[in-house]
Amino acid sequence: MSRIAYVNGHYLPHAHASVHIEDRGYQFADGVYEVVALYKGIILDEIGHLERLERSLNALRIKPPVTLPVLRLLIREIQRRNLLQTGLIYLQITRGVATRFHPFPDPPVPSSLIITAKHMKLPNDAIVQKGVSVITIPEMRWPRCDIKSISLLPNILAKQEAIDKGAYESWFLDAEGFVTEGTATNAWIVNEKGCIQTRPTNENILSGITRKTILDVAKDLGIPFVEKPFNTHDAEHAQEAFITSATNYVMPVTTINKKPVGKGVAGPISIQLRHAYLEKMVAENAE
């Protein structure tokens, strides 16, 4: 079965889906996006993702192309047409098509909406137990990382640097040496006291939807946590480390800058949180 995409009111074969060359997303990266994960047919944290999408649109003063209820219907139709059970749905909204000119189009033009789907295989238990490796690099992004903008060139360069060095992810370090977040993930440790620690959300990191749910899960499980910045030394001497995102759920980090974290394998809290997160998502959608 060929993949089906939604582009500005039309369902098209993925291979033939396209946007105009003067779409401002293509010309200026003038747009926002969200990635929503599906697990066994369940859309994970949907409302959180769509509310964040609205916040990003408001921050860039882009008018939503459809209402939230209509967008939810479109997501389900793309899920249905692609027979998607476990995978990702990608949403992108730009300021629309207009002659290339830096200011906003005046009068405004209709914003553009695309939705695509991708099947995904979950990593098996052995891969999760092995965990992933990260490196740390200086922060080089703009100060408004709380806006989920499609302008991701610094993230791409940082991700490629990780790949080139045999790692899975890069963690950005601010001017004081504290970890902000990964290229597409939130960063966490289980500190030397056994407390989960992650940076508080503000304008210099993305307020992760999975991140918020993991904090709720930790609270439900009675696992102590603190929203407090940590540096490379803290991370390298932590009991555990992990990353979270819509695509990774909870993924243990077992090496940082080629140094093992804890025992160099996935820690018990990371694994507990991963399982509890998926159980929470299934239970909430069964109600």
Q: Phi and psi (nearest 5°) for 23?
A: -65, 130
Residue from 121, 130, 148, 212 carrying the catalytic annotation: 148
Query: What percent helix, strand, coil does the chain show, rounded to 5?
Result: 30, 30, 40
Please provide the CATH number assigned to the domain covering 4-119.
3.30.470.10
125-282: CATH number: 3.20.10.10
For the chain, the domains span 4-119, 125-282
Per DSSP, helices labelled H in 67-138 are: 68-81, 125-130
Note if 148 is an active site residue.
yes
Residue pair 122/107 in contact by the 8 Å Cβ criterion: no
Q: Which residue has the tokens 């963690």?
A: 171
Alpha-carbon span 285 to 287, nearest angstrom = 5
Alpha-carbon gap, residue 123 to 127, rounded angstroms = 6
Question: What is the residue whose two structure tokens read 């910045």?
Answer: 229
**Tens-level pLDDT at each residue, the chain (287 residues):** 579 999 999 999 999 999 999 999 999 999 999 999 999 999 999 999 999 999 999 999 999 999 999 999 999 999 999 999 999 999 999 999 999 999 999 999 999 999 999 999 999 999 999 999 999 999 999 999 999 999 999 999 999 999 999 999 999 999 999 999 999 999 999 999 999 999 999 998 999 999 999 999 999 999 999 999 999 999 999 999 999 999 999 999 999 999 999 999 999 999 999 999 999 999 988 65
